[in-house]
Amino acid sequence: MSRTPFVAGNWKMHTNAEECVALCRAVRERVEGIEGVEAGVCPPFPFLQAAKAALKGSSVLLGAQNAHWEAQGAFTGEVSPSMLRGLADYAIIGHSERRQYFCETDETANKRLKAVLSHGLLPIFCLGETRDEREANRTEEILERQLRRGLDVVPWTPACVIAYEPVWAIGTGLAATSEQANEAIGFIRRLVGELVGAEIAQATRIQYGGSVKADNAAELFAQPEIDGALVGGASLDADAFAAIVRAAAG
């Protein structure tokens, strides 16, 4: 089954309002006309509206970096999926920085997944093992736990996206080898098949994330299981990001 690769930029807590708009414009200029790939950016919450305006009429998709599971309520500092409806196409769910610094668990990621889907958004569901877990040969056990709990009774569709992001590769400059990434993503796809059906699993885009740069992207994307990337640091440079998008287009 051929899947259209998807390259999404996670801008994390970077840019101010002006920089966000300038980066959106630079990205759209550079990726417009690249065929056979989808590109998206995930700016900080306060700038989503400005980003949407800056991307209007382009094919660049817009993602939020998180979403709460309730539609509204006394949850200071959170943003609900209903607030993102009509604004963002995607929401990143379960990113390792959320798990590491903000007490995100498999269970809260599961609640957020259900909520974004019920509000018409698509998830980019992140999972991945730590260095210690990989060194202890526990990678598959960890991925299986995160997937089983994360996807529990989630109405998964082929439009939902997964990002395999080994924690040891995020922001470290030390990307997984293309073989490591392909093997882990193949494992994830088989398990998604068990959980939601083989046909849906075959259609689901599974990105690799972790120190993807312009110079290692082509090698990663040459692997059959890797359907694009979730890109952190390199997505803040429009030229580097566009080069990664181009590499995913093949």
Please pick, from the candidates 150, 209, 216, 240, the single residue that binds ligand PEP as defined by CB under 6 A: 209
Annotated active-site positions, please? 95, 165
Which 6-45 positions form the footprint of ligand PEP (CB under 6 A)? 10
User: Which position among 233, 240, 244, 248 is part of the footprint of ligand PEP (CB under 6 A)?
Assistant: 233
Q: Does residue 238 bind ligand PEP (CB under 6 A)?
A: no
Q: Examine residue 180 and tell whether it contacts ligand PEP (CB under 6 A).
A: no
Q: Is 210 in the site for ligand PEP (CB under 6 A)?
A: yes
Q: Is 150 in the site for ligand PEP (CB under 6 A)?
A: no
Determine if 64 is a binding residue for ligand PEP (CB under 6 A): no
Q: Which is nearer to ligand PEP, 51 or 236 (CB)?
A: 236
Nearest distance from C-beta of residue 182 to ligand PEP, angstroms:
17
Our CB check for ligand PEP shows the closer of 11 and 47 to be 11
Measured from the CB of residue 249, what is the shortest distance to ligand PEP in angstroms? 19
Pairing of strands 90-93, 61-64: parallel
CA distances from 80 to 16, 60, 66, 193, 219 (A): 22, 23, 9, 30, 37
Does 211 bind ligand PEP (CB under 6 A)? Our answer is yes
Q: Tell me the C-alpha distance between 110 and 147, whole Å.
A: 9
Question: Contact at 8 Å (CB) between 56 and 24?
Answer: no
User: At its nearest, how many Å lie between ligand PEP and the CB of residue 240?
Assistant: 10
Give me the 154-173 binding string for ligand PEP, x by CB under 6 A, dash otherwise: -----------x----xx--
Q: How far is the CB of 10 from ligand PEP (least distance, A)?
A: 4
Shortest distance in whole angstroms from residue 58 CB to ligand PEP: 22
Nearer to ligand PEP, 10 or 110 (CB): 10
Residues of this chain that interact with ligand PEP (CB under 6 A) are 10, 165, 170-171, 209-212, 230-234
